[in-house]
Amino acid sequence: MVGGEAIDAEVVEEILYIWDPSPRTLVIATGAVLVVGIILAATFQSIVKSYNTATDGELEEDGIAIEWGEGIFMPRHEECVDENNGQDLPEYGIGYEPSISITSNGNMFITAHKDLRWGGEDSPIPLILDPDDPGPWWACTDGQDTTWDYWASWFWASYDNGSNWDHGENFGPTPGNMLFANYFAGGSECLGDEGDISVDAADTVYYLDTTLEDNWWHTLTGHGTEYATGVCQRMNTMAADDRPWVAAQGDGIIHYLGNSGVSPPECTGDAGRYWYYHSEDGGDTFSQCYSVPGGWSTIASQRHGPYVYIAQEDADTQTGTVVVRISDDHGRGTGLGDGTWDQPVEVGVREGNCPEGYPVVNTNEGGTVAVVWADCPNGSTGAWEIRFAISYDYGVNWTSWNVSHIEGIQMYPFVSISDRDLVSLAFYGLDFEDGGLDGDYVEGEEWYLYAGALRSPQEGDSWGFEIADPSPLHVVTAYEQAEGDVHALHDFFETVISPDESWLGIAYQVNIGQHPFEENEEQRYIKFVRGNVSSA
pLDDT in tens, the chain (536 residues): 333 333 333 322 322 222 333 333 333 333 333 333 333 333 333 333 333 333 333 334 467 999 999 999 999 999 999 999 999 999 999 999 999 999 999 999 999 999 988 877 655 554 455 555 556 788 998 888 889 999 999 999 999 999 999 999 999 998 888 777 777 777 898 888 999 999 999 999 999 998 877 889 999 999 999 999 887 888 876 656 778 899 999 999 999 998 876 666 667 667 778 889 999 999 999 887 888 889 999 999 999 999 999 999 999 899 999 999 999 999 998 666 667 999 999 999 999 999 878 999 999 999 999 999 999 999 999 999 999 999 999 999 999 999 999 999 999 999 999 999 999 999 999 999 988 899 999 999 999 999 999 999 999 999 999 999 999 999 999 999 999 999 999 999 999 999 999 999 999 999 999 999 889 999 999 999 999 998 54
Give burial (CB, 10 Å; 0-12/13-18/19+) of 494: buried
Q: What is the pLDDT of residue 269?
A: 67
Residue 496: what are its φ and ψ, rounded to 5°?
-140, 160
Are the CB atoms for 44 and 8 separated by under 8 Å?
yes
Please name the residues in contact with 25: beta carbons below 8 A apart, sequence gap of 6 or more.
Answer: none
pTM over 0.85: yes
- All structural domains of the chain with their residue ranges: 1-52, 58-533
Distance set, CA 469 to CA 52, 92, 404, 424 (Å): 23, 18, 19, 16
Q: Which CATH number applies to 58-533: 2.20.25.650, 3.40.50.720, 2.130.10.10, 3.30.1490.20? A: 2.130.10.10
Question: In the Cβ-directed half-sphere of 270, how many Cα atoms lie within 13 Å?
Answer: 18
Are the CB atoms for 386 and 403 separated by under 8 Å?
yes
- Give start and end residues of each alpha helix (H) in 54-205: none
Strands (E), 295-417: 297-301, 308-313, 320-327, 345-350, 360-363, 369-375, 385-391, 399-402, 408-417
List beta partners, residue 56.
none
